[in-house]
Structure 1
Amino acid sequence: MASALIIGGTRGLGAALVKQYAAQSTSVFATTRSDTAPSGFPNGIKWLSNVDLTKSNVGENLTGQLKGAKPLDVVIINAGRFTTEDFSAEKGPNWEEEVTMYTTSSIAPVFVVHSLTHAGLLKSGSKVVFVSSEAGSITLRHDKEGGGNYAHHASKAALNMAGKLLSIDLKEKGVIVSIIHPGFMRTEMTKGVGFDKHWDEGGAVTPEVAAKSLVDWTEKLDIGKTGEYWAPRGPRDIGMAETVLGKNLETPLKLPW
């Protein structure tokens, strides 16, 4: 039986991924920051508790709870945080929130993959997927969108670089690393930062739809795409895609760094 580890599996895209992999009779491990398993999920999910990506021991915590498990076929690092920031005197950037966003999005994933690798939990053919965002593309940032949201966007750019570097380190082992923009989603995260007003015109989809695209993408991944940055759902929800990259863009779309 194939196995998948979903890091950040209790809500939004992560929850949808857990349910879709479980429906495929995959052996699913999923993480929660809580000390108890969440409700509303299929039976048989192996929940790894108290997994907090802001803690320096997150890698050791994960591998300790996976002790005795066979190497994983798929690892999807989905956990993230988005707090809006602007350049005003009244609000401006927030130090604590920036540290949390960078740690969660771009520091912890390196330690997670390092620990999984050295615990023997990744093998040749294992697929590691980093859930990034088109927001992490420097090329796609445009005057029309304005500035602000420094840590969210920059932490995703940092995740892209971390994923690229890890793909180089892991290539000899045959481990595939994919960095993806999963799509603009109708989640509590986007609603919480006020992006729900853009859901309709921006073509936002449910987490279940985005998860299906991501699962399909991961299934077809091979070593030829390792270290690359893609939008499996194409340009349809990327506001500046045609402005910056031109028209008649393909799906899936390889994103510029």
Structure 2
Amino acid sequence: MSKNILIVGATRGLGASLGALYSKQPSTQVFGTTRSTSAPNKNSIHWLTGIDVAEPNVGQKLVSQIPGSTKLSTVIISAGYFGLESFDEPDWEKEVRMYTTSAIGPVFLVHHLVKANRLEHGSKVILVSSESGSITLRHEEEGGGNYGHHASKAALNMVGKLLSLDLKPRGIAVGLVHPGFMRTEMTKGVGFDKFWDSGGAVPPDEAAQSLASFVEDFDIRKTGQYWAPRGPGDIGTAESVLGKDLPTPLQLPW
């Protein structure tokens, strides 16, 4: 049976790896978004151009480019932005962009997809969050700072929970995932490459494999839940907060 998969934020990092992975699957059509007004030279993906999750009209622009009466079996919203900041140097513009990208844009994307009848009973919406959005896992050993990053992911988790309640009667499952600590330009750009080895960071291709396997088994029975498909290995506070011998995949606390 053919599947149509939409990846929002498909030009780099995890999104690019997911696009490449799903494109190799038989009978799978991959739709990928790019903020650029021109499509990347990756012919196996149907590109939706000029899609910026931080813009108010993102939902309308997205829906207008999906052809015909296409139904989507899975939507993965992977677009993200990480602006480094601290208590001594908070940054208003960075925080606004993080909240808008993580927790506001996805509401409008999913709203327009549902209202345009692009999602149906059995469809899945996967919101790429982070363990950094778990209030329970925040611990004094890690300290504070990076308010926009952590709090925007916590806000995304609430958005996902609320969407799951609104969409469950339609048979649409919504999941929140921490895909893993990755060796990407985003984490390098904020200086986290110095933690890649000690923190167990993996290439995005490896994280994409784990996430795709999790999504395959994800359904309405887990809607509204928050998971780490790769388990606790790269979550520094997991054992001190949740205990030892934790399973993989690991359901995360809010």
What TM-score comes out, normalization by structure 2 length? Answer: 0.98
Closer, same or farther in 2 for the Cα pair 1:213/1:84, shift >3 Å?
A: same
Deviates further, 68-77 or 114-123: 68-77
Deviation at 1:38, TM superposition (A): 1.6
Query: Aligned partners of 1:87 and 1:223: how far apart in 2?
Result: 40
Query: Aligned partners of 1:69 and 1:242: how far apart in 2?
Result: 47
The equivalences for 1:120-135 within 5 A come to: 120-135=117-132
Q: Percent identity, please.
A: 63
The equivalences for 1:194-205 within 5 A come to: 194-205=191-202
Provide the residue aligned with 2:94 in structure 1. 97
DSSP 3-state at the match of 2:73: strand
The equivalences for 1:1-257 within 5 A come to: 1-25=2-26, 26-39=28-41, 41=42, 43-88=43-88, 92-257=89-254
Residues matched between the structures, number:
252
Amino acid paired to 1:158 = A
Deviation at 1:44, TM superposition (A): 2.9
RMSD: 0.7
Amino acid paired to 1:141 = R
DSSP 3-state at the match of 2:124: strand
Query: Aligned partners of 2:7 and 2:208: how far apart in 1?
Result: 12
Deviations 1:105-156 (A, max 9, x none): 0000000000000000000110100000000000000011010000011000
Query: Aligned partners of 1:236 and 1:38: how far apart in 2?
Result: 34
Amino acid paired to 2:165 = I
Amino acid paired to 1:103 = T
Amino acid paired to 1:180 = V
Deviation at 1:69, TM superposition (A): 3.8
Amino acid paired to 1:38 = P
Amino acid paired to 2:121 = S
Query: Aligned partners of 1:44 and 1:131: how far apart in 2?
Result: 23
Deviation at 1:79, TM superposition (A): 0.3
Deviations 1:25-52 (A, max 9, x none): 310000000011123x3x2311000001
Amino acid paired to 1:108 = G
What TM-score comes out, normalization by structure 1 length? Answer: 0.97
Deviations 1:70-120 (A, max 9, x none): 2100100000100111111xxx11111111110000000000000000000
Query: Aligned partners of 2:226 and 2:237: how far apart in 1?
Result: 16
Query: Aligned partners of 1:30 and 1:72: how far apart in 2?
Result: 12
Structure 1's consecutive aligned runs of 4 or more residues displaced over 2 angstroms after TM superposition are none
